[in-house]
């Protein structure tokens, strides 16, 4: 593609952005988000697509192929927005035909014949040499160690083999988020974010549960400790997290409280030498195999204090297997004994290997030194756990890219191998157009993930991280759905990898903040703040 096409792409992005801003103004002036939830939700996804498109312009300047990808994504994003606006112009606060000037551009680059030209080349990533090495290293591990067991783990709902955990530990994968001063590799620079994004994608390409999500285990607790832990607590836990001597799980969500953690009921009551934990947590991913929980509990019985009455704990526990566990504490190391922790596995359609649990705590003792921040940390647990999750949305986007990439590769290969009515289905225009759109969505998502990683390294990009999570996770549902469809009846058979990828993709818009909550409670609010500021 030539430079004028990218110039037109930039103009089309500005046109779409104007529609988004007009819609946000409507939300602001007509009762706010809660009175306009459907509009606000659509605007969040439209704004996320516009930001992804804007982030592609630099990539598009690197060559003809890259420009083709960029123009195709811009056309796709603006075409989707036009479909949302049509018939709702008054609601969006725009005139009929507000996007008419983009019509020719969208028609050109959404043309199935154009998309078909992109079907069989997923293109250059333009990574620096160091990150190419990271990509190669983790892709090789995923190919050799994860993919051979991924189907077994999924179909039998089995545990992640220990040799995968130890192998990743030997590679330093769990040390990527731990600061160098505590035995890790994190330097506080751009490389921390980029390395994690690249590694997460490659491992997720092998398996979402047994690969991409596994290496994120230490990061949440690491960042929480960095935010509020004492020096002694950092010295005690961070080196062990870096080597996988200690594997962590998160116990924040409760049966009645998901994203609204301010209302949680699990209590931590003072006792001699520490605290007694009582109550029930749910969706504790990796809870059996983990050595510790990062647990958020109410330490102030005055519930009117909401999130200001919560504190964060490192809660040691024995290791269990993937189908449930029950442990009773011995009277040792200051524990009075008799405390019980019991985990019941929650069966899920995908994302297997990690396993999720509902966990009940009955007078489970936690030593005083395991309350993060000690006296200074009382009532600050909400803020520490939020710091722990700050990079989770970007990582989830990287996981989604890995799942999409795997689905595209499976669909491309099947299309080339399978003939229908005497012709390989890869030669049909409809198949090629689907594969071409997959390429566009995957490469565009990947490039924006890189851009957001660079922003976050500068202490910026929190809104963009939420945006990419919202956009890419929904895109992964389309990509995996169409990849399965290309397989026809065999896509519905568990013997084909694409069926696993399809059900794994479905969780991505749910965890790390359900899509609707993420859009309405975070993205929409920040977009309005930006508009009104």
Residue pair 244/184 in contact by the 8 Å Cβ criterion: no
Residue of 10, 4, 23, 2 whose CA lies nearest to 78:
10
pLDDT-based confidence at 260, cuts 50/70/90? low
pTM of the model: 0.94
DSSP letter string, 495-532: TSHHHHHHHHHTTTTTSSS-HHHIIIIIIHHHHHHHHH
Phi, psi of 338 (to 5 degrees): 90, -10
For the chain, helix, strand, coil in percent to 5 are: 60, 10, 25
Active-site residue (options: 254, 358, 464, 512): 512
pLDDT-based confidence at 264, cuts 50/70/90? confident
Active site (annotated) includes residue 375: no
pLDDT at 439: 97
Q: Check whether 279 has a pLDDT greater than 60.
A: yes
> CB within 8 A of 170, min separation 6: which ones?
none
pLDDT at 390: 77
What average pLDDT is seen over the chain? 93
Q: Check whether 261 has a pLDDT greater than 80.
A: no
CA atoms in the 13 A half-sphere facing the CB of 427: 8
CA distance 121 to 409: 10
Q: Check whether 2 has a pLDDT greater than 60.
A: no
pLDDT at 140: 97
Q: Percentage of the chain surpassing pLDDT 70?
A: 98
pLDDT at 387: 86
CA distance 122 to 412: 10
Q: Which CATH class is domain 248-388?
A: mainly beta
The residue behind tokens 């799980």 is 249
Q: By mean pLDDT, which of 155-159, 311-315, 511-515 is the weakest?
A: 511-515
Residue pair 226/179 in contact by the 8 Å Cβ criterion: yes
pLDDT digits (tens, 9 = 90+) for 115-151: 999 999 988 899 999 999 999 999 999 999 999 999 9
Phi, psi of 58 (to 5 degrees): -65, -45
Superfamily of domain 119-216+393-512: Butyryl-CoA Dehydrogenase, subunit A, domain 3 (1.20.140.10)
- Domain positions in the chain: 3-110, 119-216+393-512, 248-388
Residue of 78, 40, 81 whose CA lies nearest to 528:
40
Mean pLDDT, residues 455-459 taken together? 91
pLDDT-based confidence at 513, cuts 50/70/90? confident
Same fold, 119-216+393-512 and 248-388: no
pLDDT-based confidence at 259, cuts 50/70/90? low
pLDDT-based confidence at 386, cuts 50/70/90? confident
Q: Check whether 1 has a pLDDT greater than 50.
A: no
Residue pair 418/411 in contact by the 8 Å Cβ criterion: no
Q: Check whether 464 has a pLDDT greater than 50.
A: yes
Within 10 A of 455 (CB to CB), how many other CB atoms are there?
A: 19
């Amino acid at each position: 593609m030539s430079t004028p096409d990218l110039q037109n792409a930039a103009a089309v992005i500005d046109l779409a952005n104007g529609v988004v801003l007009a819609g946000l103004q409507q939300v602001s002036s007509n009762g706010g988000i809660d009175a306009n939830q459907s509009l606000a939700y659509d605007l969040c996804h439209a704004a996320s697509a516009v930001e992804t498109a804007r982030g592609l312009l630099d990539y598009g300047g690197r060559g003809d192929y890259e420009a083709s990808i960029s123009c195709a994504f811009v056309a796709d994003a603006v075409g989707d927005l036009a479909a949302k606006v049509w018939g709702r112009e008054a609601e969006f606060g725009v005139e009929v035909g507000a996007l008419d000037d983009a019509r020719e551009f969208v028609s050109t680059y959404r043309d199935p014949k154009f998309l078909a030209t992109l079907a069989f080349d997923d293109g250059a990533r333009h990574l620096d040499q160091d990150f190419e090495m990271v990509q190669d290293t983790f892709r090789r591990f995923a190919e050799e160690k994860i993919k051979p067991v991924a189907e077994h783990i999924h179909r039998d709902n089995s545990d992640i083999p220990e040799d995968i955990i130890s192998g990743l530990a030997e590679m330093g994968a769990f040390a990527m988020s731990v600061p160098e001063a505590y035995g890790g590799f994190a330097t506080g620079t751009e490389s921390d974010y980029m390395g994690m994004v690249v590694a997460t994608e490659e491992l997720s390409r092998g398996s979402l549960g047994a690969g991409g999500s596994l290496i994120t285990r230490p990061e949440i607790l690491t960042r929480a400790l960095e935010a509020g832990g004492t020096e002694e607590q950092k010295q005690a836990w961070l080196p062990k997290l870096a080597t996988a001597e200690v594997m962590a799980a998160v116990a924040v969500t409760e049966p009645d409280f998901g994203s609204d953690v301010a209302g949680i009921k699990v209590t931590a009551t003072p006792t001699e030498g520490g605290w007694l934990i009582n109550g029930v947590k749910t969706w504790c991913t990796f809870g059996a195999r983990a050595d510790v929980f990062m647990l958020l509990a109410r330490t102030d019985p005055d519930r009117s204090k909401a999130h200001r009455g919560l504190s964060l704990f490192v809660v040691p526990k024995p290791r269990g297997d993937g189908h449930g566990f029950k442990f009773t504490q011995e009277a040792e190391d200051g524990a009075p004994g008799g405390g019980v922790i019991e985990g019941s596995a929650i069966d899920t359609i995908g994302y297997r290997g990690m396993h999720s649990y509902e966990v009940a705590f009955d007078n489970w003792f936690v030593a005083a030194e395991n309350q993060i921040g000690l006296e200074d940390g009382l009532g600050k647990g909400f803020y520490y756990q939020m710091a722990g999750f700050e990079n989770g949305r970007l990582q989830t986007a990287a996981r989604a890219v890995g799942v999409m990439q795997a689905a595209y590769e499976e669909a491309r290969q099947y299309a080339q191998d399978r003939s229908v009515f005497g012709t390989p289905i890869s030669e049909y225009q409809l198949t090629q157009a689907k594969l071409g759109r997959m390429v566009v969505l995957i490469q565009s998502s990947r490039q924006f993930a890189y851009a957001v990683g660079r922003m976050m390294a500068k202490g910026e990009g929190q809104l963009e991280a939420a945006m990419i999570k919202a956009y890419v996770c929904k895109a992964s549902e389309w990509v995996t759905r169409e990849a399965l469809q290309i397989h026809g009846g065999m896509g519905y058979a568990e013997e084909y990898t694409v069926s696993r990828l399809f059900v794994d993709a479905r969780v991505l818009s749910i965890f790390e903040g359900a899509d609707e909550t993420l859009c309405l409670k975070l993205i929409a609010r920040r977009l309005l703040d930006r508009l009104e500021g």
